[in-house]
Amino acid sequence: MKVPVVTEILKANDQVATENRELFRGAGVGVVNVMASPGAGKTSLILGTLARLSDGIEPAVIEGDIASSIDADRIAEEGVPVVQINTGGNCHLDAPMVRAAMSHLDLTEVNLLFIENVGNLICPSNYRLGEDLKLVIGSVPEGHDKPFKYPGIFAGADVVVLNKDDLADVFEFDHAEYERGIRMVNPDVEIFRTSCRTGAGLDSWTAWLEKRLAALGTGVGAA
Ligand code: MG
Ligand code: ZN
Q: Please state at what angle helix 95-102 crosses helix 2-26, rounded to 10 degrees.
A: 30
Say how many Å lie between the CA of residue 124 and the centre of ligand 2.
6
Cα 38 to chain centroid distance, Å, stands at: 13
The number of the ligand nearest the C-alpha atom of 36 reads: 1
Say how many Å lie between the CA of residue 132 and the centre of ligand 2.
20
Say how many Å lie between the CA of residue 116 and the centre of ligand 1.
7
pTM (2 d.p.)? 0.95
The number of the ligand nearest the C-alpha atom of 90 reads: 2
Domains assigned to the chain = 2-215 (3.40.50.300)
pLDDT tens-digit profile, the chain (223 residues): 566 777 888 899 999 999 999 999 999 999 999 999 999 999 999 999 999 999 999 999 999 999 999 999 999 999 999 999 999 999 999 999 999 999 999 999 999 999 999 999 999 999 999 999 999 999 999 999 999 999 999 999 999 999 999 999 999 999 999 999 999 999 999 999 999 999 999 999 999 999 999 999 888 876 4
Say how many Å lie between the CA of residue 185 and the centre of ligand 1.
26
Long-range contacts of 81-84 (CB under 8 A, 24+ apart): 81/105, 81/106, 81/109, 81/110
> 3-class SS at 110?
coil
Say how many Å lie between the CA of residue 222 and the centre of ligand 2.
35
Q: What is the DSSP letter of 143?
A: -
